[in-house]
Each structure stands twice: as structure tokens, then as C-alpha cells.
């Protein structure tokens, strides 16, 4: 074996060792991408941008901030970029938003307005707890239980929070009434209060009926059919269904109402999404 071959045998392991050490050093010095970033190319940076902004605000803003409140404020702005029908309802407002769709709520059964920082009863719901006890339009509510609510800058939402409550519970209301010098106090037992989605159903003339629907709730179809039956008994042969100002709601009830007037097989509505197949609702031809 020559001297050159001996030198190569010694030099080759040395080169491998040096290369290994350099590889380790490069791995330590150079920044590494996270595994999640490698698995989700193009997604992590976008998520990090919003998170980074919030982190910077929390660290550097002159006052302390509530991160959750900032997120709550950001969500509506994001959805606004989509379309007019994409909205965000915070958890604290969801129950109230669903009341008109459920067809009822639990409370004392009044409509009110705030006038010069005082709760004024506008009307009582017929058959509701307040109507049964004799509350009247124009009554001025000053106290709810032991809390003064007049002249306090209280919001409508706060008032509803005090007056609404589980069925069977009691709320004490003290009010001023025209013609009375002293406060009148009522202990009102809360109950389920219906919210009607069919405003009116009456005869316009001898053969034309009119039904006004303000939204579609889980009770709308039953309300509509009740009104329709009453109008038919009065001789109705033509019908006007007024949907002006209708806020929408539960599609199933709208489909059931449309089904009353269409021939079998006619398309009522279809839904289709980017990742959802077309789903059709067609008339059964069994309308009354």
C-alpha cells in the first residue's frame, strides 16, 4: 500500500467528522420553522398576524386592555367583509335573539319605552301577568324589587334583564299612575309570554282575506293556518299574504306556508353551498 493511500484512509474519516460538526452547528444557528407551519403552509402566518397584533397591544398599549373584548370587536368587522347576511351574535345576546324565533319568552308581559330616563308602559300583552293584575299603558315604573330604576340612566337591556326571568318567579314593581298620589306596587308572577309572528288576519272585502306575517318562527305556520281557517269560514276565496318588512327566520315554516298554495312537484326553494349538494323542497300538492 502506498503512502498516498495511507494518507487518504486517515483524511476521509476526518472530513466526515468535520462535516457532521458543521451540520450540527448550522442546525443550531439557523432558525427553524415549526412543525405546524410546515404542515399548514400559508395558514399559520395569517393566524399569527392577528395574534401578534393582540400580543403587541397587550404588551405596549398605554392602558390595560381586555383581550376578549378586542376579539369580540374584531369578529363583526371580519364578517362585514363577507355579505350583509353574515352576522355575529355574542353569547350574551343569543337568548334574546332567539326569542322571536321561539315564539315566546318568560317575563311579565309588557311593552315599554324609556322617556326622560323613566320606564313608561306602552302596552300590556293580553292575557299576560301584567294585564291580569291591571297594569296600564302610561304607568311609570320607578322601582323593580328594591332597585330604583328612574333617573339612573339605565338601558333597555338592563330593564329587560330585571323584568324577565323564569316562569313562576316573582318580581315586585312599584309605579306611578295618573290620578294617584302614592306609588302602586304589584307582585307579578312571571309567565310564558307569546310572541306572535302573524300580526293580523282579517277580511278586506266580502271575498278577499289579508294576513300579515312579520317573521317566520316555530309557531308561524300554526298561527297562519289558524288565521286562514277563520278567513275561509268568513267566505274568503282570495288571499293577500303581506311579507313587507318580514325579518326572515325559520325556513321550514316558510316552506310549509308556501306549500299551501302550490301544485304538486313545484319547486318552493333550494339550498346549495360550496361544499353542500343541492337540496330542494317541492310542494306536496296537499295544501288546504
pLDDT tens per residue across all 288 residues of the chain: 555 555 445 444 545 444 444 444 444 444 444 444 445 555 555 557 888 999 999 999 999 989 998 998 889 989 989 988 888 888 877 777 777 788 888 999 998 988 888 999 999 988 899 999 999 999 999 999 988 998 888 888 888 889 999 999 999 999 999 999 999 999 999 999 888 899 899 999 999 999 999 999 999 999 999 999 999 999 999 999 999 989 889 999 999 999 999 999 999 999 999 899 999 999 998 877
Specify the pTM.
Answer: 0.64
Distances in Å between the alpha carbon of 229 and those of 226, 233, 235, 252, 267?
5, 6, 10, 20, 25
Q: How far apart are CA 288 and CA 286, in angstroms?
A: 6
Amino acid at each position: 500500500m502506498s503512502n498516498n493511500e495511507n494518507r487518504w484512509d486517515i483524511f476521509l474519516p476526518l472530513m466526515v467528522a468535520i462535516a457532521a460538526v458543521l451540520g450540527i452547528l448550522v442546525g443550531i444557528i439557523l432558525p427553524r420553522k415549526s412543525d405546524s407551519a410546515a404542515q399548514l403552509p400559508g395558514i399559520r402566518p395569517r393566524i399569527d398576524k392577528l395574534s401578534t397584533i393582540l400580543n403587541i397591544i397587550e404588551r405596549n398599549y398605554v392602558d390595560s386592555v381586555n383581550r376578549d373584548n378586542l376579539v369580540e370587536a374584531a369578529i363583526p368587522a371580519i364578517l362585514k367583509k363577507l355579505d350583509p347576511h353574515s352576522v355575529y351574535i355574542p353569547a350574551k345576546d343569543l337568548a334574546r335573539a332567539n326569542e322571536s324565533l321561539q315564539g315566546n319568552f318568560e317575563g311579565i308581559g309588557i311593552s315599554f319605552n324609556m322617556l326622560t330616563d323613566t320606564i313608561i308602559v306602552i302596552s300590556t300583552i293580553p292575557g299576560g301577568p301584567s294585564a291580569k293584575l291591571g297594569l296600564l299603558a302610561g304607568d311609570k315604573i320607578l322601582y323593580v324589587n328594591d332597585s330604583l330604576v328612574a333617573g339612573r340612566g339605565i338601558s333597555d337591556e338592563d330593564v329587560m334583564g330585571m323584568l324577565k326571568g323564569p316562569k313562576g318567579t316573582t318580581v315586585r314593581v312599584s309605579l306611578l299612575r295618573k290620578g294617584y298620589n302614592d306609588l302602586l306596587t304589584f307582585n307579578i308572577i312571571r309567565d310564558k309570554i307569546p310572541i306572535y309572528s302573524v300580526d293580523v288576519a282579517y277580511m278586506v272585502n266580502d271575498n278577499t282575506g289579508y294576513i300579515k306575517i312579520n317573521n317566520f318562527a316555530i309557531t308561524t305556520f300554526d298561527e297562519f293556518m289558524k288565521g286562514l281557517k277563520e278567513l275561509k269560514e268568513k267566505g274568503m276565496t282570495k288571499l293577500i299574504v303581506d311579507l313587507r318588512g318580514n325579518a326572515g327566520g325559520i325556513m321550514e315554516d316558510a316552506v310549509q306556508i308556501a306549500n299551501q298554495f302550490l301544485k304538486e312537484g313545484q319547486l318552493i326553494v333550494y339550498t346549495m353551498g360550496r361544499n353542500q349538494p343541492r337540496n330542494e323542497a317541492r310542494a306536496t300538492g296537499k295544501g288546504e
